[in-house]
Amino acid sequence: MSLTRTYTVKIEAGDIWQFKYNLNGFLIAFNVLEGEISQAHSDWLFVKGKFPYHEDKIKDWQKKLKQLTIEVGEPDISFDSLWNLYDNKVSKFDANKAFNKLSQADRIKCFMTIPGYKKYLFKKGTGTAHLATFINKQYYNDDWTKA
């Protein structure tokens, strides 16, 4: 599970597309929820280069393409989502208590830091700290890509 932002695009013809981006703004999933991609849509998206591979592109759609209805889903930054993302399932009560003290910005940092932290641990062959320790010692403020 990763932290994502979802854009649901409704086209006047009734088609519904869904785009999911990670918090760095890169597309991680595209789904056609209703309808089919017509040849005209395919040409527009792929031949004319309008496919929103980065979140900035779909934000441009919001500003410029009035024939589309775009709903933005906020990322799930709940404790349960973080718990599911984190590998060391120990001391859930303490981790939840520490999480509830965090600001929204620090909660987002936790989500964004965990993948780099996991890579660091794998590279070093080191065990994973309890999530409560990760939060209380503010590991989310460390740059694990340079450690």
Q: Quote the Cα angle for 11-14-19, to 5°.
A: 50
How far is the C-alpha of 65 from the C-alpha of 58, rounded, in Å?
Answer: 10
Q: What is the pLDDT of residues 89-110, one digit of tens each?
A: 899 999 999 999 998 888 888 9
Mean model confidence pLDDT for the chain: 89
How far is the C-alpha of 141 from the C-alpha of 144, rounded, in Å?
Answer: 9
**pLDDT (average), residues 29-39:** 89
Q: What is the pLDDT of residues 102-144, one digit of tens each?
A: 988 888 889 888 888 999 999 999 899 999 999 999 999 998 8
Instruction: Give 85-123 as a DSSP string.
Output: H-S----HHHHHHHHHTS-HHHHHHHHHHHHHHHHHHHH
